Structure 1
Amino acid sequence: MLPLTDTTAVVSALRAAGCVFAEDEADLILATARTPGELAVMVDRRAAGQPLEHVLGWAGFHGLRVLVEPGVFVPRRRTEFLVDQALAQAPDASVVVDLCCGSGAVGAALAAALGATELHAADIEPAAVDCARRNIAPYGGHAHLGDLFDALPTALRGRIGILAANVPYVPSGEVGLLPAEARDHEPLVALDGGGDGLDVLRRVAAGAPGWLAPGGCVLVETSELQAAAAVEAFADAGLTARLAVSEEMYANVVIGVRDVIGVRDAS
């Protein structure tokens, strides 16, 4: 059994399993494990290919430690760019919705930055909703189970200031090319975006205007190759659309804003 202080042994086990950042991961595992037995189990799980965040039980995201449980989509650090763009676009938002919420990391980060706000998170995966409920509880958030807008209370229609939707956008034919830790340990519904990867994004774009407050915004992450089509989908829904790009974080975020007057209800 590995001693709780045997950094060399942990690093060696992780490196042998192909972990590129074995030293950093070893530090995190050693800091999290409470007993030698737990340490051994965590190292074995990581060496078997489970995502580090599932092994630790948490992920760092936008300055927060977010609970992440097995079977739940792991929040990507690049998605912090989406959070920053939402805060810049709507710094005074009083109603926030985290759609396709996974762990609820985006909603929690927005609520932490905005302060007093009405927060809702929704996902089609029961495990994700349970996890998100725990992560947004400190902010008075409400978690809902269901398919996109069908999950939300109707009282939110026309009131949402920030609608963050971390939609799946991997084309169906490319899911098999994803790293094994995503492909084998995260729910397919959180990864597979349909034929061209934009099926769920188009549904969000079509429904968003009826749920946004005047001047409210909807934000989704997409790939560089899909960005132009994603912007077009937002514009087709009657939103004022633009693309924000972070080369440093390899992030592409499409932002759609409901005009204060004149936008049609495309829900």
Structure 2
Amino acid sequence: MKLIKLDAIDSTNDFLKSLASQDELDNFTVVTAENQTKGKGQMGSKWQSESGKNLIMSVLVKDFLYDNEQVFNLSVIVSLAVIDVLKSLNIPDLCIKWPNDIMSYNKKVGGILIENTIKSDGRIVSVVGIGVNVNQTNFDHLPNASSLAVICKREFDKKSLVILILEKIQQKIDSWENNSADLWKEYFNSLFRQGIPMPFKKLSSQDSGQNFMGIIQGVSPVGKIQILLEDDSVSEFEIKEIQMLY
């Protein structure tokens, strides 16, 4: 494993993508930072972090994805890897808010952003950005966020989390071929509010702002959420099309 430690950077994902485009980096090269000035989340949202308090890492993953229809498999693997590590630290009531936010109780403690690049020879190279709120205690203006320290009332060694999470990702990738059905089942069983009626908001331009009730039934192979609607039909939505209200 090649580990690149930075003090401050605009985005570890952007830094690693730039390195990967210029150099034949080793698989599972990791970049970490104490402070990230332009952290990104899903749909271009900003991810804010207090300097030195949280885990900020990006991992290069090659030779796993070979088809655009498979890209969500990596999201399943990384989400479960982070959940497994946090379970080993006795973080309570963990789940995954689709597609890959890490929750404890109903608070977000981590997020994942995977960016894929298709090379000229057809290979898919992925940069996996992982952020975990570890020792930050101030979440003013972020009512749905929390940290491991707030939830467990103690501080954690964030440096050890890098190795633990990377090892889990590698283990799950190595076992994927023989274990993919079980991992998909584990992912679904870990979903936040699955099987429970809850409100959603439509984000698409045609129905923007419209709320509706639904029940999460599953996730398609390409990562679309499957929701049972009030008329007993099941519709699939992409991440940019709906928002969970909780």
Using the size of structure 1 for normalisation, the TM-score is 0.28
Larger radius of gyration: 1
Q: Which has the higher helix share?
A: 1
Q: Which has the higher strand share?
A: 2
Using the size of structure 2 for normalisation, the TM-score is 0.30
